[in-house]
Amino acid sequence: MPASSDSALRVAIVGASSLRGKELKQVLEDRNFPATDIILLDETLAVGTLTEAGGEPTFIRPIEPENFERSRFAFFAGSKEDAARNWPVAQRVGATVIDMTGALDDVLGSVPWIPGLTKLLLPERSRGPAATLLIAPPAPVILACTLSAALAPFSPVRLVIVFFPPVSERDQAGVDELESQTASLLSFREISQPVFDAQVAFNLLSNYGAGSKPRLDDIRAGIARGVTGYLAGRVPAPAIQFVQAPVFYGYALAAFAELPAPRDTKEIEAALVAAGIKLPAEGEPAPTNVSVAGENEIALGRVERDANIAAGYWFWGVADNLRLSAANAVRIAEELLVS
């Protein structure tokens, strides 16, 4: 049943109590998204929680079919399991599904979209994809695709990206575990590690413990597939590695690009800015996890030449992981409203 025209701007957020869900609601409000009603949905434990949406008090409702009725958009921001069970319900009532969980990655007919890269990667497209199942890619896919597209005019011989994900990528449980481990280690107490099955506090991890699901190398493989799939041969895909960092928020990256011949760093920086990447002014410090908090954009430091490779260049970048993915998801909906 299609969404009725008199309530076409009703929005449902599934997983409203998750970190992604809370950030998504905030972005909708900050960008003055023209929703007539924002419905907050979540699993049983969060149902009945008093919160607000659009400046009005409201309650989190259960994820039930009647609560999707008349929705124009249904954002899935909680667990993959909730999204996998409920996206068909949202689609049946006529809502356009925008998935932030990865549950729709292998669903036939689903389309990933990063609106900010349309002009760089899909110049032939004048409007959004004609699909009602849309994937809002996670922060590292947006980061890798944006950097790859920005550097494509220079035909890099190779591009390598090392990501440093924050624990908030594992939602509140990851944040709580890092906080608990930090306090325990400072007090010489035994640490708990139900999420990572490893010591993440004061540490860097190339993988998690055996009991952690998903594993870090599984996450890396999934992100690599997402990047390759989105670039779709239009731009060469970068090599990707992950190192878990003991930080709460902010996705950081260190990248190396080798070009066919040396280029002026200002020329490279101009291409980055043209791709929507924020660079510091001369003399300003490089971005940090703290400095990008609440920012919608990807922030990079000034381009640095490699000490040994004449045509080699280093990039340091950071983005607010929750804000970047939420802003991209909301921008998808905005683009669909005007297309």
Q: What is the pLDDT of residue 6?
A: 44
Which residue positions in the chain have pLDDT lower than 50? Answer: 1-7
Structure confidence by residue, pLDDT tens digits, 318-336: 999 999 999 999 999 999 9
Q: What residues have CB less than 8 Å from 307, skipping those under 6 apart? A: none
Q: What is the pLDDT of residue 46?
A: 61
Q: What is the pLDDT of residue 205?
A: 97
This prediction's pTM: 0.93
Q: What is the pLDDT of residue 5?
A: 44
Q: Where are the beta strands (DSSP E) in the chain?
A: 10-14, 37-42, 50-53, 56-59, 61-62, 73-76, 96-99, 111-112, 133-135, 158-164, 239-242, 251-258, 299-300, 304-305, 312-319
Instruction: Enumerate domains of the chain plus CATH numbers.
Output: 5-137+325-338 (3.40.50.720), 140-321 (3.30.360.10)
What gap in Å lies between CA 59 and CA 47, rounded to an integer?
Answer: 7
Q: What is the pLDDT of residue 2?
A: 41
Q: What is the pLDDT of residue 164?
A: 98
Q: What is the pLDDT of residue 339?
A: 73
Q: What is the pLDDT of residue 52?
A: 60
What gap in Å lies between CA 28 and CA 14, rounded to an integer?
Answer: 14
How far does Cα 156 stand from its chain's mean position?
25
Q: How far is CA 239 from CA 143, 162, 259, 268, 325, in A?
A: 13, 8, 15, 20, 21
Q: What is the pLDDT of residue 43?
A: 82
